[in-house]
A and B are shown apart, each in its own frame.
Chain A
Amino acid sequence: MSQTTPKKLVVIGNGMAPGRVLDHLFEKAPGAYQVTIFNAEPRVNYDRIMLSPVLSGEKAYEDIIIHDDAWYETHGVTLHKGKKILEIDRADRKVVADDGTVAEYDKLLIATGSSPFVIPVPGKDLAGVVTYRDLDDVDAMLAAAKSGGHAVVIGGGLLGLEAAYGLKRQGMDVTVLHLMPTLMERQLDPSAGYLLEKALADRDIRIITRANTKEITGRDGKVAGVVLEDGTKLPADIVVMAVGIRPSAQLADDAGLEVGRGILVDDHLRTSDPDILAVGECVEHRGQCYGLVAPLYDMAKVIAANLAGDEAQEYTGSVTATKLKVTGIDLYSAGDFAEADDREEIVLRDAAGGVYKRLVLKDNKIIGAVLYGDTADGAWFFDMLKKGTDISDLRDTLIFGQAYAGGSPLDPTAAVAALPDDAEICGCNGVCKGTIVQAITEKGLTGVDGVRAHTKASGSCGTCTGLVEQLLKVTLGDAFQPDAVQPMCGCTDLGHDDVRRLIVAQELKSIPAVVQELNWKTSCGCAKCRPALNYYLLATWPGEYVDDKQSRFINERVHANIQKDGTYSVVPRMWGGITTPDELRAIADVADKFKIPTVKVTGGQRIDLLGVKKEDLPAVWADLNAAGMVSGHAYGKSLRTVKTCVGTDWCRFGTQDSTGLGIKLERFMWGSWTPHKVKLGVSGCPRNCAEATCKDIGVVCVDSGYEIHFAGAAGMHVKGTELLCTVATEAEVLEYIGALTQLYREQGRYLERIYKWADRVGLDVAREQVVENADRRKELNARFVYSQKFMQNDPWAERAQGKDAEEFTSFRLAHLGKVA
């Protein structure tokens, strides 16, 4: 592109389709467009096909972000989060958002997606009736699942079944209502539908077919149950509608663009106004509307090429394939499997093995494929389907898959080796075999992680990971070593748990000892393993191991949080959130004296001083120390804050002294290093003003004593705590929490929050070792108390008195004149 003034491109919608358009566009024509995006959702672009694993708890929101905030910044994109466009003004070439924001465009891209279809029954507007479309829906379902109870999912298609499985995993009692006689009737014939129904029943998901919903009943404006036409009544704390989607074309229609079922577009994805393009689920192209991701990506390539000035590329429609994302159930379907007179079918059933395969043929070509229970040949069939391969010669063995094509069984890698270069391996991201092989050879990749980083293949739903591994094997031969365990980092093949075990078993007491004895592949580790090893050694050998500050992340090395401009922020500890006028005066004086630009109250009831120059840190700390304040460890994988409410000190409803208990807990636990940050809350009554039930560990005071909760989260992932137990005295609270923290310190992998640790090892581990086994609890707590003896020195005081002085001073070249 020549260096002309960039044109203004406005995008309505921030889903995967426009995201992919921009990826291609910035690659092809960087700087050609000044891009503004309006997103009705209040967030960045994330991988919508991965919502099911988020719902089932197998992934977190942060795992499925496609473009983070930094990406928008890098490409100079203005992203309006949470702003919905109300009007497209074609005469003045501008769009208007619901908050009055106006943006002018040279080219406009509409990507409004689709909206879930809601069946018009009485009660559809009650609270607790949700659709399954975006992260807000998933959050609503997760919130409902927290209290257990009954979920009813209306719709037994792909989306409905994934929602049902996710809610089941979250501990709800789940019933699926399906209008037709068998599940997924568009993809499966009745007997395969039955296989699927049985597999779901084995997972305790109840299926009612031929279920016609009559009404959704409520109590106090909230959903309470579902009534079917035949009079069946089902209790429901949440109802999920997953009966289908329809293109969101209203905005385009209002603007006078031509609209059918979706926004009508030509082969360049242009609407009836040549300056307005449309992409994704909102479009209708050659009579087709799509609801899967691969066609959207095909469209995105064409739009980006057109916007970059390459008008030769056209979109001619897509053949689609889809997988059911329910762990343990393999289901793959591709193409068209509606019955018609001019079509034949080949079906293979193995009821005992739970396998069903069906191919739909027309004129000796595959036009549809359904695989259940054994989906290994999906890519092979899909490739022939897309290419329109004549299968006459393969017909007799076709259904047995590629291994038997022509009669002789092949091993699976041979099958992958036989795939042509343009065979699609990763459907989510549209990556074909040739791209992956090229990346492996050109970039010298040796594992799935590398392939993911360079090509995005297997980076979304992960079901093609096996294929990617086979490609690595085919390309690298014996040099490819598949990993059974996720290694800690590139320096070793050992996983975190093995390393922790060997540190104890072989009595390894320093990082060099670990590197040497456990055959690290690097001379001294990397930025990933060294902080982890430093923590493991510190937790295993309290009082013996000498902390290696060069192996700590900068925040922990200098006891402050690094900010984006290289300055630091400082948070003094305020025990239980209680402060005094003298402390506040001292903080104000420090802020004045060192010209600290921002003073902010944190979410954890502390005060944050932001923008401190590194060389000022020791002097700032000296002044704070002089007023009696110590480090709040706001920078550490360590105990951070204990939030409290005012409890019986002041509150009309307080049942216990929550403030006092919070202070005791913080004094007991401060200074401890942990696998990840640890935040506590103590609430004085079940009104829970300290929000204790979304903390790593929480205490809720009740009349009879103290409920101890754990494994909550309220960051990227919002999760209510689990109840550990109820105890009668403050002393017991301290003992139980000391033991629980120590168990986490001994078992948690570095950077694994308490809730993730509890999820991995199971909640019962904590209940058994901390609650049921008193001896074990006392041992754990004693180890925590012992370790604390070495931890509770204020790191700020040490540095204010000159420790690590070289860390806070620099050389000024102007003062160096000595010629050597």
Chain B
Amino acid sequence: MNDMSMNTKTQVWIEICRLEDIPPQGARVIRATLGCVALFRTASDKVFALEDRCPHKGGPLSQGIVHENGVTCPLHNWVIDLETGVAKAPDEGRARTFPVQVRDGRVLIDRALLA
């Protein structure tokens, strides 16, 4: 089933898990072909997908503390914006982000992650 609501090229959405499989203010990890992807769920039930690598020293962001729309890396306390993947100033760097959506309580990501 193709979803055309995203204004990018045609995407194929795959169900990863249900929303309740991710703890609120927590994360789960997807082991994908291109490496690990962290799925975050905020206190307001927004879900974000980022590569599980801090731009600073490759720390696993999925293990960090999640607050509002950010996560604090467990290795050296860099704060990464979940929406953009950008590190909070004065630090500089960016973690890759991936499109993700929640539909009927199911968490979906773009099949491109398989590529």
The residues of A with any CB-CB pair to B shorter than 8 Å are 70, 443, 453-454, 522-527, 530-531, 550-555, 558, 562, 564, 566, 806, 810-814, 816-820
Please name 18 further chain A to chain B contacts, defined as beta carbons within 8 Å, in addition to the given A531-B65, A820-B1, sorted by A numbering: A443-B90, A523-B44, A527-B67, A553-B65, A555-B74, A562-B60, A564-B57, A566-B59, A806-B21, A810-B29, A813-B31, A813-B33, A813-B113, A816-B16, A818-B14, A819-B13, A820-B103, A820-B108
Q: Which residues on A sit within 8 Å (CB–CB) of B64? A: 527, 554
- With both beta carbons as reference points, the residue of chain B lying nearest to A812 in the complex is identified as B31
What 1/0 flags go to B13-24 for Cβ under 8 Å of A?
111110001111
Q: Which residues on B sit within 8 Å (CB–CB) of A820? A: 1, 3, 13-15, 103, 106, 108
- With both beta carbons as reference points, the residue of chain A lying nearest to B77 in the complex is identified as A527
Of A531, A558, A819, the residue contacting B1 (CB under 8 A) is A819
- With both beta carbons as reference points, the residue of chain A lying nearest to B26 in the complex is identified as A550
Knowing A550-B26, A806-B23, A819-B111 are in contact, say whether A526-B67 is a contact too (CB < 8 A).
Answer: yes
- With both beta carbons as reference points, the residue of chain B lying nearest to A524 in the complex is identified as B43
Chain B: how many interface residues by the 8 Å CB criterion? 48
Q: Which residues on A sit within 8 Å (CB–CB) of B114? A: 813
What 1/0 flags go to B52-84 for Cβ under 8 Å of A?
000001111001111110101011110100000
Q: Which residues on B sit within 8 Å (CB–CB) of A562? A: 60, 63, 74-75
**How far apart are B105's CB and chain A's nearest CB, in angstroms?**
12
The residues of B with any CB-CB pair to A shorter than 8 Å are 1, 3, 12-17, 21-26, 28-33, 36, 43-44, 57-60, 63-68, 70, 72, 74-77, 79, 89-90, 103, 106, 108, 111, 113-114
Q: Is the CB of A813 within 8 A of B32?
A: yes
Max chain B CB contacts within 10 Å: which of A522, A550, A555, A817? A550
Of A524, A530, A555, A818, the residue contacting B15 (CB under 8 A) is A818
Q: Is the CB of A811 within 8 A of B79?
A: no
Q: Is the CB of A810 within 8 A of B28?
A: yes
- With both beta carbons as reference points, the residue of chain A lying nearest to B33 in the complex is identified as A813
Q: Which residues on A sit within 8 Å (CB–CB) of B24? A: 550
Q: Is the CB of A527 within 8 A of B65?
A: yes
Q: Is the CB of A819 within 8 A of B12?
A: yes
Bound CA–CA A417/B9 (angstroms): 55
11 of the cross-chain contacts (CB-CB < 8 Å) are A453-B90, A522-B67, A551-B25, A553-B74, A562-B74, A810-B28, A811-B31, A813-B30, A813-B31, A819-B111, A820-B108
Bound CA–CA A525/B68 (angstroms): 8
Q: Is the CB of A811 within 8 A of B106?
A: no
Q: Is the CB of A811 within 8 A of B13?
A: no
Q: Which residues on B sit within 8 Å (CB–CB) of A552? A: 65
Bound CA–CA A555/B79 (angstroms): 18
**How far apart are A516's CB and chain B's nearest CB, in angstroms?**
13
Of B1, B23, B67, the residue contacting A524 (CB under 8 A) is B67
- With both beta carbons as reference points, the residue of chain A lying nearest to B65 in the complex is identified as A527
Q: Which residues on B sit within 8 Å (CB–CB) of A454? A: 90
**How far apart are A97's CB and chain B's nearest CB, in angstroms?**
29
Q: Is the CB of B63 within 8 A of A554?
A: yes
**How far apart are B67's CB and chain A's nearest CB, in angstroms?**
5
Knowing A70-B76, A550-B23 are in contact, say whether A811-B17 is a contact too (CB < 8 A).
Answer: yes
Q: Which residues on B sit within 8 Å (CB–CB) of A526? A: 65, 67-68, 70, 72
Q: Which residues on B sit within 8 Å (CB–CB) of A527? A: 64-65, 67, 72, 77, 79
Q: Which residues on A sit within 8 Å (CB–CB) of B33? A: 813-814
**How far apart are A284's CB and chain B's nearest CB, in angstroms?**
38
Q: Is the CB of A811 within 8 A of B16?
A: yes
Q: Is the CB of B65 within 8 A of A551?
A: yes
Q: Which residues on B sit within 8 Å (CB–CB) of A523? A: 43-44, 68
Q: Is the CB of B12 within 8 A of A566?
A: no
Bound CA–CA A806/B26 (angstroms): 10
- With both beta carbons as reference points, the residue of chain A lying nearest to B72 in the complex is identified as A527
- Which 9 pairs from chain A and chain B are nearest by CB? A527-B72, A810-B29, A550-B25, A527-B65, A813-B32, A554-B63, A566-B60, A554-B74, A820-B13
Q: Which residues on B sit within 8 Å (CB–CB) of A816? A: 14-16
Bound CA–CA A810/B65 (angstroms): 18
Q: Which residues on B sit within 8 Å (CB–CB) of A555? A: 74
Bound CA–CA A502/B57 (angstroms): 39
**How far apart are B58's CB and chain A's nearest CB, in angstroms?**
8
Bound CA–CA A7/B90 (angstroms): 30
Bound CA–CA A524/B72 (angstroms): 14
Q: Which residues on B sit within 8 Å (CB–CB) of A558? A: 63
Bound CA–CA A806/B75 (angstroms): 21
**How far apart are B57's CB and chain A's nearest CB, in angstroms?**
7
Bound CA–CA A566/B38 (angstroms): 13
- With both beta carbons as reference points, the residue of chain A lying nearest to B3 in the complex is identified as A820
Q: Which residues on A sit within 8 Å (CB–CB) of B90? A: 443, 453-454
Q: Which residues on B sit within 8 Å (CB–CB) of A819? A: 1, 12-14, 111
Q: Is the CB of A530 within 8 A of B65?
A: yes
Bound CA–CA A98/B20 (angstroms): 62
Bound CA–CA A443/B90 (angstroms): 9
Q: Which residues on B sit within 8 Å (CB–CB) of A553? A: 65, 74
